[in-house]
A and B are shown apart, each in its own frame.
Chain A
Amino acid sequence: MDHTLILNTSMLLTLAVLSTPIIFPLLSDNLKSSPTVIVRTVKTSFFISLIPMTVFIHSGVESLTSCWKWEFIMNFKIPISLKMDFYSIMFFPIALFVSWSILQFATWYMASDPHITKFFIYLLLFLIAMLILILANNLFLLFIGWEGVGIMSFLLISWWHGRAEANTAALQAVLYNRVGDVGLILCMAWLASATNTWEIHQASSHVQIPTLPLMGLVLAAAGKSAQFGLHPWLPAAMEGPTPVSALLHSSTMVVAGIFLLIRTHPMYHNNPTVLTFCLCLGALSTLFASMCALTQNDIKKIIAFSTSSQLGLMMVAIGLNLPQLAFLHISTHAFFKAMLFLCSGSIIHSLNGEQDIRKMGGIQKMLPTTSSCLTIGSLALMGTPFLAGFYSKDLIIESLTTSYLNSWALLLTLLATSFTAVYTLRMILLVQTGFPRIPPVVTMNENNPAILAPITRLALGSIVAGFIITSYIPPVKTPPMTMPPSIKFTAIIVTILGVVVALELSNLSKAHIKPKRNLFSDFSSSLGYFNPLVHRFSTTNLLGGSQNIASHLIDHSWLKMAGPEGLATLQQMAAKTTTSLHSGSIKSYLGAIALSIIIMLLSS
């Protein structure tokens, strides 16, 4: 049995099936798509994608398919090359499973939208672009997928384009991603000129790539994956509908940056500058995002900052030279993060659009399944032993604590882990427990298969995904085998500390003690003052400076002061001096004549 043929065929069939709802309506009016058809298509694609995964797990077959070279210029050809390796084969079913659940949920969430079919087509286009990015073996095809997911992100965030905040958020996403794209283009330009190829495996085997193009890759990843410095677009992207937040901004699109670094790992695996930069950037991102999440009151923003924090953790894994661990965290994170977003969507919709957790409460009695799944997802996020998040998060922290690397990054990551427990528990306590703070007349009904089926499916994934993936796939690098018990239990101790602190804080709030405003709470609730500093301060200074240059410097200084007006001022001085001589007195005129004659005689 030709395993390679089965692998290639089934992977390409997955993509072909996914594109049918887009192509068929163009061919005939009778083949119109509908949300149900699209959900069924994605479900079928998921089941087809299980075939290559099974083949890979059974026999370890990988494949590199190359077809149709584009003769770009002489000696530089760009083939369509698709790499079906561990990463793409494993991510395909995970992405499709999560997408299937989210699309099924969206049939309920977006039921009242008049353009629901267009919404689903947009999501499908995004999914196809994402899968092209995953499969790409050369940077050109990856860039096509990269830009595709960026464009669809823009269109989907601004879905409710009547809201100014949604348009602003979409623009913000595009601009921040574009800053990152500059890095990717820089790397592609260097590779094209120095190695004459954009194939990732060829580029990494040739020469020692200098640090600048590699930092371009890191910049691209920082932009797409919302690392510190290029992070504000991710919480702002919560203006989009919840299915968009669940699919794009938690599970798939935001991990594209990390995935780029995983794919290009052979290029920088022996460059300590890049690895250290990734480690420090990831540690800073994870702590900053978790700090910002502590004081958020919008449930979607809390989950968004949580996503940003986990992306920082993935970057930390990259910095530890463990791309497979980063990929494992991508896979497990997709399940529980998508589920958290779907649960939040269910709660928001049931409360008629209320997103403030201070106006929720007692939801566990009203929406029991949603609350249970929210709790499971939160426990998985915290790294509770033997749930999905544990297998990846605990391994990353163990590798970090047993490595000889940056202890500052270690401290930040551990702090972020405890903050994760704090804000997650705060969210659960305020949303699910206590007395209801919701409006009195609210009809809640989660007894709809479109809500329950996706959420419970993802809950099952959040429980077993980590165990299944680690059972079937042996690790590429040996994890640390022995360590002192204090190191082994670091992650769980830090998480329990966070839980205790959160419980203590909730007891304080129940005792109605007025919280004091201090520097840290202001820093956290203002999101580190980053947005006004970058969006206002830098742009104000730049625009003010450029206005000064354009109007004051050129018009005022060069064209006025240095030109006619300056000349006129100089003339004025001389004119004033000579005017005082015109006194009308004969004696002064005779004196001037005498002076002139004397000067003429002396000069001749």
Chain B
Amino acid sequence: MGAHLARRYLWDAEAEPDPLQMPTFPAELGLPQRRPRAMVASAEQLAQGRVPLDQRDFCGHHLLRLLRCHRDNFPVPWGCHELRHAWDSCQHHE
């Protein structure tokens, strides 16, 4: 617990990067076949779905599906676990 904090104090940025100056790398580093990310959901779809601005990211299409599932299954809250997991998984990888 707090190991990253201890590493931060004991060693330098080599062991634990400074969170205010995170190192950046080119997107294709080590992965020549990578392609640039593309939004799956369009801006109009996100606006129509009234998705909050902070959540209009590369996982927005998963969120739209989740919201639609919630609306279709209303008032039952369960039944959308797979879509929720897909969104969470996308956010985690993001």
Tell whether A and B belong to one assembly.
yes
A residues within 8 Å of B by Cβ? 54, 57-62, 401, 404, 407, 410, 468, 471-472, 474, 476-478, 481-482, 484, 486-487, 490
Query: Contacts of B71 on A, CB cut-off 8 Å?
Result: 58-59
Given A401-B2, A472-B77, A474-B67: A60 and B19 interface contact (C-beta under 8 Å): no
Given contacts A404-B19, A474-B66, A490-B1, 16 further A-B contacts (CB under 8 A): A57-B75, A59-B71, A60-B49, A61-B50, A407-B5, A468-B77, A471-B77, A471-B78, A474-B67, A474-B70, A474-B84, A476-B55, A477-B54, A478-B91, A484-B1, A486-B1
Chain A min CB distance to B36 (Å):
22
Q: Is the CB of B67 within 8 A of A60?
A: yes
Given A58-B71, A471-B77, A481-B88: A476 and B1 interface contact (C-beta under 8 Å): no
B residues within 8 Å of A by Cβ? 1-2, 4-5, 19, 49-50, 52, 54-55, 63, 66-67, 70-71, 74-75, 77-78, 84, 87-88, 91-92
Query: Contacts of A476 on B, CB cut-off 8 Å?
Result: 52, 54-55
Complex-state Cα separation, A514 to B19, whole angstroms: 50
Partner of A404, one of B4, B70, B74, B84: B4
6 nearest A-B residue pairs (beta carbon): A471-B77, A481-B92, A404-B19, A478-B91, A60-B50, A58-B74
User: Nearest CB to that of B89 among chain A residues?
Assistant: A481
Query: Contacts of A404 on B, CB cut-off 8 Å?
Result: 4-5, 19
Q: Is the CB of A410 within 8 A of B2?
A: yes
Q: Is the CB of B92 within 8 A of A407?
A: no
User: Nearest CB to that of B9 among chain A residues?
Assistant: A407
Chain B min CB distance to A434 (Å):
36
Complex-state Cα separation, A325 to B67, whole angstroms: 20
Query: Contacts of A472 on B, CB cut-off 8 Å?
Result: 70, 77
Query: Contacts of A410 on B, CB cut-off 8 Å?
Result: 2
Complex-state Cα separation, A410 to B5, whole angstroms: 11
Q: Is the CB of A481 within 8 A of B91?
A: yes
Chain A min CB distance to B63 (Å):
7
Complex-state Cα separation, A60 to B1, whole angstroms: 38
Query: Contacts of A487 on B, CB cut-off 8 Å?
Result: 1
Query: Contacts of B55 on A, CB cut-off 8 Å?
Result: 476
Partner of B2, one of A58, A60, A61, A407: A407
6 contacts between A and B (CB under 8 A): A57-B74, A58-B71, A58-B75, A401-B2, A404-B4, A474-B84
Query: Contacts of A474 on B, CB cut-off 8 Å?
Result: 63, 66-67, 70, 84, 87
User: Nearest CB to that of A86 among chain B residues?
Assistant: B52
Complex-state Cα separation, A179 to B66, whole angstroms: 46
User: Nearest CB to that of B77 among chain A residues?
Assistant: A471
Query: Contacts of A54 on B, CB cut-off 8 Å?
Result: 75
Complex-state Cα separation, A229 to B92, whole angstroms: 40
Query: Contacts of B92 on A, CB cut-off 8 Å?
Result: 478, 481-482
Chain B min CB distance to A83 (Å):
15
Query: Contacts of B1 on A, CB cut-off 8 Å?
Result: 401, 484, 486-487, 490
| Residue with the highest number of chain B CB atoms closer than 10 Å, among A468, A472, A474 | A474
Query: Contacts of A490 on B, CB cut-off 8 Å?
Result: 1
Complex-state Cα separation, A54 to B75, whole angstroms: 9
Query: Contacts of B70 on A, CB cut-off 8 Å?
Result: 57, 472, 474
Query: Contacts of B54 on A, CB cut-off 8 Å?
Result: 476-477
Chain B min CB distance to A391 (Å):
13
Complex-state Cα separation, A586 to B62, whole angstroms: 122
User: Nearest CB to that of B6 among chain A residues?
Assistant: A407
User: Nearest CB to that of A410 among chain B residues?
Assistant: B2
Complex-state Cα separation, A57 to B87, whole angstroms: 19
Query: Contacts of B50 on A, CB cut-off 8 Å?
Result: 60-62
Chain A min CB distance to B81 (Å):
10
Complex-state Cα separation, A486 to B88, whole angstroms: 22
Query: Contacts of A57 on B, CB cut-off 8 Å?
Result: 70, 74-75
Complex-state Cα separation, A101 to B42, whole angstroms: 47
| Residue with the highest number of chain A CB atoms closer than 10 Å, among B1, B52, B54, B66 | B1
Complex-state Cα separation, A58 to B74, whole angstroms: 6
Query: Contacts of B52 on A, CB cut-off 8 Å?
Result: 476
Query: Contacts of B5 on A, CB cut-off 8 Å?
Result: 404, 407
Complex-state Cα separation, A471 to B4, whole angstroms: 32
Query: Contacts of A477 on B, CB cut-off 8 Å?
Result: 54
Query: Contacts of A61 on B, CB cut-off 8 Å?
Result: 50
Complex-state Cα separation, A62 to B91, whole angstroms: 25
Complex-state Cα separation, A58 to B75, whole angstroms: 8
Complex-state Cα separation, A93 to B15, whole angstroms: 50
Query: Contacts of B66 on A, CB cut-off 8 Å?
Result: 474
Chain A min CB distance to B57 (Å):
9
User: Nearest CB to that of B74 among chain A residues?
Assistant: A58
Query: Contacts of B63 on A, CB cut-off 8 Å?
Result: 474
Chain B min CB distance to A530 (Å):
30
Complex-state Cα separation, A72 to B76, whole angstroms: 48
User: Nearest CB to that of B20 among chain A residues?
Assistant: A404
Complex-state Cα separation, A65 to B91, whole angstroms: 34
Complex-state Cα separation, A4 to B60, whole angstroms: 24
Complex-state Cα separation, A540 to B52, whole angstroms: 53
Complex-state Cα separation, A471 to B2, whole angstroms: 30
Chain A min CB distance to B1 (Å):
5
Chain B min CB distance to A412 (Å):
13
Chain A min CB distance to B50 (Å):
5
Query: Contacts of B19 on A, CB cut-off 8 Å?
Result: 404
User: Nearest CB to that of A470 among chain B residues?
Assistant: B77
